[in-house]
Structure 1
């Protein structure tokens, strides 16, 4: 799904992404031009209007080239899912700019005190991937009325000048995602810049916008893990080839055999994943997607990410000291894969 030229651009920026903790400006510009943060927006809003199966290939391919870039492509595009929840006027205003991209959080860790025509909001939200360059932020809040907490929850849309970014993302992997905490203090948010994730307010949506959100997210993050798993296996192959002059014949034979075994496991999991996504997407389009099929899709997504991670685990200890260096590509793929797989939608516990 990616051109060879785009893949080269991403790969060439990979070290800088890791070192600086965010995307360099020139790569951001490429992402805007390629509409990588608008995969699920209609063409009238400058989007690519992709199906979920096609987008899964994009997420996998971008993650193969650079884990942080792939994660940010996935998260940035995922923000498109709020399109129908906004008023039509707000959706067009906020999504139409070429550099439109959401960062935010689904955790309801903010308070929104109801006022005339809007809300007075304060709160803090963690793990907001893409925070350094987001054109807008969304975060869930609990509504307070007349000084009392209610059971109502609404998402608020913040502009960058209303948000303080607390640079606290210090994870073992996906270091370039800028997944920082955001803080908002006493910001007024007009009512039309809030929304409910269960309410539709316009007719701009595509078929993907009615696909169940949990499985949409599982497909997206599993695709990232598969891209990173493929990258790990490729880098492991390179490292083994380089080590053949140093290792004895028995170690070479054993490690090559293990690599081939794990590659076969991975290839099967990858194919099953794409087949499962295609099947459920077709069922979604013809109106026959039911809870059983969704449960099966969830299981496939978690299993495929588990297999990708386990393949890396099985091989890692056989790769020698080069693999433990953080500057090693195989090390970074390993760290990024472990970090991506920790997302709650993929974690069975």
Structure 2
């Protein structure tokens, strides 16, 4: 991994896609990913970082994939979030029966959108289930090839509570365009609904079941998988914020200097201090992830202590990136209060991703 004029590079994101994503970031906020950006993602297999090679995936080790997520998010928050969420759906490729997994995950444009909330109801019928429900915050909802969601199984009032995951085809899903967040506006994180659709048994699964592929990621616990993925997005967006702030100050130097000599230089030094703190935090994050990943590979399972440590370092990184951005934002003046300003957009994207439930601080620690 290196630093270049385009940011932190892993070599996984082609330079042509970097340029296309940067051009996308200049479009009106809330614009969905253009077809040329999606085509570049498909070609680079960025939605398949956790899909087995037998299914035309890349199957990167978790620490390597996290660096890709950070790099993508440093280019643009929406781009990075969608790459991360789309890749995360590959986690389910080992839960479906192999023939169904081949059908749903092998195509070049395969990508999952969905929700983990059990806000649907499934009624058992011959050969499968009849399912109805509605789920919020389904990022990538407008271009997904498969939709996944959790449902409560209705086996009657006397039955034990049971939750199962379901995979829906696009023609079974109704998209409710209700994503009106103040950040990550272009992620199309709308609600989805299904209305009494039939789902065959082979398109249902449990993430607690034994995986059908041997790749280590499928045995990695889902919570730290999500926490590390989203923490990497936080890291990339914060790097972008500080880099844009530095460019902004350089452009304002001539305007600021007559009224307040030294303002630009002092502000640039403040930005450099926050960048140093961020990179120290990033080093701690990656060291923790890599050490616990290697221990997981050696033992075949992840200890509760390591899971707790990973969760702590991810929540700490999420809080730290906000602190570093908060330290700089007031120094930049009134111009960055305008919603159309790039720094304002990045600021709101950062606050949106850090609001995810797996990254927010525990209430008792606040």
Query: Of the candidates 133, 145, 167, which is equivalent to residue 143 of structure 2?
Result: 133
Cα distance in 1 for residues equivalent to 2:152 and 2:293? 34
Using the size of structure 2 for normalisation, the TM-score is: 0.91
Secondary structure of residue in 1 paired with 2:331: coil
2:249 is the counterpart of 1:240? yes
Secondary structure of residue in 2 paired with 1:137: strand
Displacement after TM superposition at 1:15 (Å): 2.8
Using the size of structure 1 for normalisation, the TM-score is: 0.96
CA contact (8 A) 1:59 1:227 kept: yes
Query: Of the candidates 65, 83, 88, which is equivalent to residue 98 of structure 2?
Result: 88
Cα distance in 1 for residues equivalent to 2:148 and 2:267? 47
Cα distance in 1 for residues equivalent to 2:29 and 2:52? 32
Cross-structure match for 1:230? 239
Displacement after TM superposition at 1:340 (Å): 0.4
Superposition RMSD on alpha carbons, in Å?
1.5
CA contact (8 A) 2:120 2:131 kept: yes
Cross-structure match for 2:169? 159
Structure 2 gap ranges (5+): 1-9
Structure 1 gap ranges (5+): none
Q: Deviations over 1:171-227 (max 9, x none)?
A: 01111100000011010111111111111252x241111111111111100000000
Secondary structure of residue in 1 paired with 2:21: helix
Secondary structure of residue in 2 paired with 1:140: strand
CA contact (8 A) 1:16 1:24 kept: no
Cross-structure match for 1:335? 348
Distance 1:125 1:294, change over 3 A: same
Query: Of the candidates 189, 193, 208, which is equivalent to residue 203 of structure 2?
Result: 193
Distance 1:76 1:137, change over 3 A: same
Q: Deviations over 1:28-56 (max 9, x none)?
A: 11110000100011212111110000000
Distance 1:213 1:37, change over 3 A: same
Number of residue pairs aligned between Structure 1 and Structure 2: 347
Cross-structure match for 1:218? 227
2:19 is the counterpart of 1:18? no
Q: Deviations over 1:54-107 (max 9, x none)?
A: 000100000011101100111011111112221111111110111110000000
Cross-structure match for 1:269? 281
Cα distance in 1 for residues equivalent to 2:297 and 2:118? 32
Q: Deviations over 1:103-148 (max 9, x none)?
A: 0000000000111111111000000000000001000000012576
Displacement after TM superposition at 1:290 (Å): 1.9
CA contact (8 A) 2:47 2:86 kept: yes
Q: Deviations over 1:235-279 (max 9, x none)?
A: 000111111112212433432332122111111111111111111
Cα distance in 2 for residues equivalent to 1:131 and 1:17? 19
Query: Of the candidates 39, 47, 50, which is equivalent to residue 60 of structure 2?
Result: 50
2:302 is the counterpart of 1:294? no
Cα distance in 2 for residues equivalent to 1:240 and 1:111? 54
Larger mean CA deviation between 135-144 and 254-263 belongs to 254-263
2:136 is the counterpart of 1:123? no
